[in-house]
């Protein structure tokens, strides 16, 4: 099975300062080569398998693209797909914030998730595997005990970093304690002036889909009006007062992204009982030609398809890593300012910055000055 390849980051440093940064994805278009010429019915399954991270949510975008291209959009599946995105994004953010990122700093977090709570999440990820009402209540109880320490709505009332610091210092939950530790370590890491991707709407999806299919090289340097953008929790939660405050104090870097991811988790917990959204959709451009989109854990994904009868004539996807790790994107800008007393310190900061932007694939770090 073809997979989206690792992110390969090459850095060079001199006298404790990064002097060159390059980021590229191996086999970045593996899913597109895999799907072209295949039967339409296999599209979503193959897309899910191709993405190690957020595969279910990418699968939603693929489903939407194919159904729209065939003129068979199924409105009855809307809430099921919203729940799938909610469940997968909660799992994704939780793992990144409380396992992957702490581990980079030598912090091992004991996972506090029971079999009952795992089953509750499965009810959202895989419809038919449980009662979603009961599952939602189970997950809300877990969030209050392990992560938020209160109801999601109450958590979302925080507006300042002083509010956040009180929450962290209180240590009411393991999540508060560990979050405090990861944010305390260089919250300004990777701060840069790259603008955030606007909220997804039909006009934005249509414009980007046209460029994905019509402009050679666009996905290597995606832009709006010639300017690179950042997509992900930071762009989606940019209007929340706590995120606004984090950006103002720390810049658009590691700390602000961590806060945005936590705020988004609280918002998603609140959506367990009322899905809200939309977090996915589709646009039809002509017979057998459409795009599906989804807000996956690490940003906006757009999947474009053209059909030839019951087979896929062409498939193109614009994924979050294209934006965040592009030539002029937030990773390259942020990493270019990294300094460190030795190679190990620089490598550590680069890995933390990569994790904050979350490529959704593995990382291989190469040093040109080694």
> What mean pLDDT is predicted for residues 86-107?
93
Tens digit of pLDDT for each residue in 159-209?
999 999 999 998 889 999 999 999 999 999 999 999 999 999 999 999 999
Distance CA 317, CA 228 (A): 17
Q: Fill in the DSSP letter of residue 96.
A: I
* Cα dihedral 312, 286, 66, 211 in deg (nearest 10): 80
Q: pTM for the full model?
A: 0.94
Q: Compute CA distances 191 → 27, 168, 336, whole Å.
A: 29, 22, 10
pLDDT at position 357, please? 93
Buried b (16+ CB within 10 A) or exposed e, 203-230: ebbeebbebbbeeeebbeebeeeeebbb
The helix (H) or strand (E) run that includes residue 308 is: strand 299-308
Q: What is the pLDDT of residue 370?
A: 45
Residue range 133-160: mean pLDDT, rounded: 96
Question: Per-residue pLDDT averaged across 17-30, rounded?
Answer: 81
Residue of higher predicted confidence among 318 and 171:
318
The whole-number average pLDDT for the span 289-303 is: 97
Maximum Cα–Cα distance for the chain, whole Å? Answer: 60
Let me know: does 117 contact 130? Beta carbons within 8 Å.
Answer: no
Q: What is the pLDDT of residue 27?
A: 60
- What pLDDT shows up at residue 111? 72
Closest listed residue to residue 231, CA positions, set 111, 99, 339, 329: 329
Report the mean per-residue pLDDT for the chain.
92
Per-residue pLDDT, averaged over 283-304, amounts to 97
- For every residue of 166-230, DSSP letters joined together read HHHHHT-SHHHHHHHHHHHS-TTTT-B-PEEPPPP-HHHHHHHHHHHHHSTTGGGS--BTTB-EE
How confident is the model over 248-281, as pLDDT tens digits?
999 999 999 999 999 999 999 999 999 888 999 9
Give the pLDDT of residue 127: 77
The second-level CATH assignment, the architecture, of 7-367 is Orthogonal Bundle (1.10)
């Amino acid at each position: 099975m073809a997979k989206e390849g690792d992110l390969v980051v090459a850095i060079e440093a001199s006298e404790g300062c990064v002097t060159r940064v390059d980021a590229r994805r191996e086999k970045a278009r593996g899913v597109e080569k895999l799907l072209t010429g295949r039967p339409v019915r296999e599209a979503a399954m193959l897309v899910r398998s191709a993405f190690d991270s957020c595969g279910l949510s990418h699968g939603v975008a693929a489903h939407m693209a194919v159904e729209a291209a065939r003129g068979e959009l199924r409105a009855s599946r809307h809430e099921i797909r919203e729940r799938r995105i909610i469940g997968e994004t909660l799992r994704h953010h939780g793992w990144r914030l409380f396992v992957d990122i702490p581990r980079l700093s030598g912090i091992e977090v004991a996972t506090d998730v029971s079999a009952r709570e795992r089953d509750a999440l499965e009810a959202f990820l895989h419809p038919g595997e449980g009662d979603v009402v009961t599952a939602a209540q189970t997950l809300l109880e877990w969030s209050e005990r392990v992560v938020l320490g209160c109801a999601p709505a109450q958590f979302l009332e925080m507006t300042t970093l002083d509010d956040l610091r009180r929450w962290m210092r209180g240590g009411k939950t393991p999540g508060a304690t560990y979050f405090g530790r990861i944010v305390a370590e260089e919250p300004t890491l990777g701060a840069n002036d790259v603008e955030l991707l606007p909220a997804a709407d039909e006009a934005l999806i249509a414009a980007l889909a046209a460029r994905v299919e019509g402009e050679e090289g666009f996905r290597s340097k995606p832009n709006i009006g010639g300017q690179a953008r950042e997509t992900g929790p930071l762009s989606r939660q940019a209007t929340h007062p706590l995120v606004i405050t984090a950006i103002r104090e720390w810049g658009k870097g590691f700390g602000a992204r961590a806060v945005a991811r936590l705020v988004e988790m609280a918002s998603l917990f609140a959506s367990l009982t009322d899905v809200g959204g939309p977090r996915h959709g589709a646009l039809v451009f002509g017979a057998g030609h459409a795009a599906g989109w989804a807000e996956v854990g690490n940003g906006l994904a757009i999947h474009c398809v053209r059909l030839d009868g019951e087979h896929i004539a062409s498939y193109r996807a614009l994924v979050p890593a294209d934006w965040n790790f592009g030539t002029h994107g937030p990773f390259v800008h942020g990493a270019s300012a990294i300094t460190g007393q030795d190679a190990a310190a620089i490598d550590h900061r680069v890995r933390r910055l990569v994790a904050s932007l979350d490529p959704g694939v593995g990382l291989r770090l190469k040093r040109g000055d080694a």
